Structure 1
Amino acid sequence: MAFGLWEVGAGLGQYLSDIDRARMATQGVPPLSYEAGLELFAAGLRTDRPSVVPVHIDTAALRSRTDEVPALLRGLAPAPRRAAAAVEIPAGAGELERRLVGLTVGERLRAVLELVRGEVAGVLGHSSVEAVGPERPFRELGFDSLAATELRNQLNRVTG
């Protein structure tokens, strides 16, 4: 059995922070409760399949992701069909353009810095951009590979 993350803090999951767990839940893969894990373990023992993956998938959260759904989960949350001629314009792209038009170079740099700091604060679970020093290295701020990927996806969404 290839179990998903349990919420009881066992295995590799014990090293995840509350922010990491919340990020996984918003991406459609919340941790298993102890009770659900035991139920899935018992169900896995009753099957004749050579391997099972006891994991909880939140399909609504999976469909609402702003990044690409991982290949193994795409069948659970297929992308909506679009007309071939339709071009999707990211919602944040026009807004960012409007904010930057007419600003000086220095003002543009400050506006983009504040945008990035805001996204960093959101990804790391901070309530304010003040917690994100613009000169602090990502690792020092608490970034890991999952947080960096989420930040990339958020910046792609808001900048188009």
Structure 2
Amino acid sequence: MLIASSGIAQTDDASPEDLMQRLNGVAPAAVLENATLLNVSAEGEMTTLREGSNGWTCMYPGTDPMCADEAAMSFLQAWMNKEDPPQTLGFVYMLLGDEGASNIDPYAEGETGDNEWIAAGPHVMIVGSEAKPMLDAYPQKVPSGANEPWVMWPGTPYAHLMIPME
């Protein structure tokens, strides 16, 4: 769902033009056009390929391309570092979908019989601890067909709202 560990689509020598081509369609063109571009190496190291001017950061970590606003980037950093999320409300575009993640375990590395693995199609996410009050209004399990909003990673500090986009 968020930052994958797969080496697919990761290179150590990507150019901003290469990354823009791979990210085409992940977010509205106006967001992507002026976003900071991060290259994520196969080892998970992030390098800025281009500084942006609109407060968005776009990257292609593993198989899950995304664009996140500043607050969402803080949330993602906290998740990656297993820290408490900041008191923020952030937004993430993943309009190319993802290759899958556990709906209950933020750190699951693959599908198991009991970790509610879900590969989501195009979606956006509302993340951050400031989103928690709204999460009670949505299903805590993936709805049949995954075509309605639901809470991913419920009961964890990283719970967030998944909103499918057709």
TM-score (ref. length: structure 1): 0.25
Structure number with the higher strand fraction is 2
- Of structures 1 and 2, the larger Rg is shown by 1
- Which structure is richer in relative contact order (CA contacts within 8 A, separation 6 or more)? 1
TM-score (ref. length: structure 2): 0.24
Structure number with the higher helix fraction is 1
